[in-house]
Structure 1
Amino acid sequence: MRLPILAPTLSGLAILAGSSAFAAGELNIFNWGEYTSPELIKKFEETYDVKVTITDFDSNDTALAKARQGGNNFDIVVPSSTFVPVWIAEGLLLESRPDQMENFKNMDPRWVDVSFDPGRHYTVPWQWGTTGVIVDTDLYKGDPNTSTIFLDPPPELAGKVNVVPEMGDVMALAIRAEGGQDCTADMEVLKRVHEKLVAAKPKWVAMDYASIEKYTGGDYAAGLSWSGAAMRVRLEAPRFVYGYPKEGYPIWMDNVAILKSAPNVENAKLFQNFIMDPENAAMISAYARYANGIKGSEQFMPEDMRNAPEINIPPEFVDKGEFSPACPPEVNDLYTRIWTDVLK
């Protein structure tokens, strides 16, 4: 349910007004690499007379560590749903109240009362997707819808598998493959996960945030990947397919939040409101090839996204996906011990 809009204070006007008179200046965005539409940024800059600077990070852990250190001038950060509760608990985010912004009416109700930010007091959806596997069908003719692609690579893929170095994604798929549930602390399950991952690593060629060229150029033939990244590869090289692991896979969402230390708060609020406009949300999706949480954005999407298998989960795999929760610190500590061994 949409909450009443705040009285038109100066802050409220900065959120609601479409005039550059309330903006001007700068906005500094801290986001994942190759994840921000230049077209979107250009439109925002021209609409509000704001100069936008983008700094990339390569993992949730990197972004969080940078914010904890302080001494930066970032306004906007884009953490994943599993990390948002940590940012909030540590007092790193501004309670910017997106739920009281003009364009909040466009948010898909599915993404309003989320566990990581109930009612959306801090964050706005950026993009959401799934974590699965990508496979070169010229080399592998078997079933791509399984985590064994990276956990126990078949001979034709061994030594050609890339795994994104994100502990949460890797652990989520491995735990499901071993019959466990999200955030499990079952030591028998975790022992099997540890053994499986350590045994699998020698069959991987890399743990990398792979570029499209690494796949299309033949460096990688398979890997643990995100849905939008896999779609971008397929559009360049149709021999690749995205697999939804039948053992279970995570659904995730990245979200736009404002740092409590932000030097340009009003411009950051303008940006949160701006990306809840359907046409602007579609620009985000068109660039990185993920779904977003904004109603009506579909009509502005590129034609090749409307029925893309990486975005539209096949019916037989819908019930295999679960939204990834934020695990308790003691559970994360257990996973970190396993992850440390995997990285050795």
Structure 2
Amino acid sequence: MSTAYVPTLDIRRFDTDRDNFVRELGQAYEQFGFCGISGHGLSAGLLDGVYDVFQRFFALPTDVKMQYHVPGGGGARGYTPFKVETAKDSQHPDLKEFWHIGREIPRDSKYADVMPPNLWPTEVEGFREFGYGLYEALDQLGARVLRALALYIGLPENWFDDKINFGNSILRPIHYPPIETEDVPNVRAGAHEDINFITLLIGASAAGLELLGKDGKWLPITTQGDAIVVNIGDMLQRLTNHVYPSTTHRVVNPKGDAARKPRYSIPFFLHPNPDFLIETLPSCITPDNPDRYPQPITAHDYLLERLREIRLI
């Protein structure tokens, strides 16, 4: 895919060329809801270690992986098996299995009842070290992206900081197993929008990710080098009254030999704090863009509403 569609911007420019970076980033999100981010500082050692531990986990026998499945937990932590999650309005479940890592919080926190403790598979050495190391790195990178997005819509740079410091964010390593037949009705991930503020995706270097353009055509997205794809989720779309659009995207099945290979990707879903009230920002309401969401909702209630739609609870 041409970078004329979705640009990749170097986030180091936020420190060296702030005004232009903020403008270019904001315009990319207004147009596409997606942008590639380079210069993020995530080390090759961290990323290599992450892929190693996650691939070793997914290679374990199913009965071992199922020991980390939490029935009734909505997939909030631990393992979710193959063909469970189903895109909203889709007849067929997605062709994937995944793991969830959440924020480590004190168990006497006011959020403890909605943010359960993490599970850590003892069979895979280094899983916790690399998994939570990546969680923290993407949490910090996401906060930087949100600072630029805040400036673009006239908010103070640090406006989001205390709204996400206990965010119910999720790191989701995903394994799309090889597809053995050409005629499966399912796709690896059905057309959907993300629930959260922003999503940071590692693993878009493999073909399959596509976004739905405003012209109704699907555009394939692949990244160069170590760029991370960052897209807007529905909570931020709602907060900004669609100034920042949450764009429909999917992961399609590759053709031919590529279908016989597994695909791995690692999205980080950055959420606000569970009690954050998603209430339309006054600066995003204009005569041409009247308030679409006069009824505010907490982030946690909105999350539950959406998890029911995709059949995780």
TM-score normalised by the chain length of structure 1 = 0.24
> Which structure has the higher relative contact order (CA within 8 Å, separation 6+)?
1
Higher share in helix: 1
Higher-Rg structure is: 1
